Amino acid sequence: MENEFDRVFLEMKRTIHNISLRYSKQSGVPAAEFVSQLSEEIWVAYRDYDSAYGATLITWINGCLRRRAMDVIRERDGTYYRRVSLISAIAKTDEDEDAPTSEVAESGPSLEEYVIERMHRKKEADQRQLIDFLVNSDPDQVDPVTTLIVTKFPQYPSITALAKALGLHHEVVKRKLRALSRRYDANRFGDYREYLAV
């Protein structure tokens, strides 16, 4: 059994290395931590393997290694390295600068507020442009009810309130919006979630 395990371990060594590098790059946890955890996991997976599982030994071990790598990221190791890398990135300063400290902001317009306000205006302009395209690009496909729903949508807090104000059933409003959303082209406009973020 010992020789069989040694053979499997040597065979899986390259896989351990590849998984370690991939998940290390993805999470910031050092590859050596993954190698250590995955080497231990091979022994556990080898010990617990039963051919009744319906998978070969190598397939079983591969699955166990990938699950263990994800566990390393999710557990305290991943959290620790995420925090340390964040703190390290913040703490890096030029040699002639002091350590970062919080200072009282001067009176006047804040740069942060200015940037947020500019982003919000750009986002609203992008949203209007997208809605205009969806509603006006092919008038044959968009009925007047859908156009009315889209124009009144920002004035109401929910679809139900909008439907009640327009005298429609809320499911009709949902169906009209769903039909309109099918015309959205992610290749042309990008990810729709960018339009939803505030």
> What predicted TM-score, i.e. pTM, was given to this entire model?
0.41
Q: Is the dihedral of CA 79, 83, 89, 95 positive or negative?
A: negative
Question: Which residue shows structure tokens 């302009």?
Answer: 125
Domain 2-91 CATH (choose: 3.30.43, 2.60.40, 1.10.287, 1.10.1740): 1.10.1740
What is the C-alpha to C-alpha distance for residues 77 and 96, in angstroms, rounded to an integer?
33
Q: What is the DSSP-derived secondary structure letter of residue 44? A: H
Q: Is the dihedral of CA 109, 114, 116, 122 positive or negative?
A: positive
Per-residue pLDDT of the chain (198 residues; tens, 9 = 90+): 568 888 888 988 999 999 989 988 888 788 888 899 899 999 898 888 888 878 888 888 999 999 998 888 887 655 666 665 555 555 555 444 555 554 444 455 567 776 677 776 767 777 777 777 777 777 677 788 888 888 888 788 888 998 999 999 999 988 988 887 777 777 777 776 666 655
Asked if residues 19 and 12 have their Cβ atoms less than 8 Å apart, the reply is no
Contacts of 12 (CB under 8 A, 6+ apart): 42, 58, 61, 65
What pLDDT, on a 0 to 100 scale, did the predictor assign at position 88?
55
What pLDDT, on a 0 to 100 scale, did the predictor assign at position 105?
44
DSSP-assigned states of every residue in 83-109: HHHHHHHHH---TTSPPP---PPPSS-
What pLDDT, on a 0 to 100 scale, did the predictor assign at position 171?
93
Q: How many CB atoms lie within 10 A of CB 132?
A: 11
What is the C-alpha to C-alpha distance for residues 170 and 118, in angstroms, rounded to an integer?
34
Q: Would you kindly state where each structural domain of the chain is located, as residue ranges?
A: 2-91, 111-196
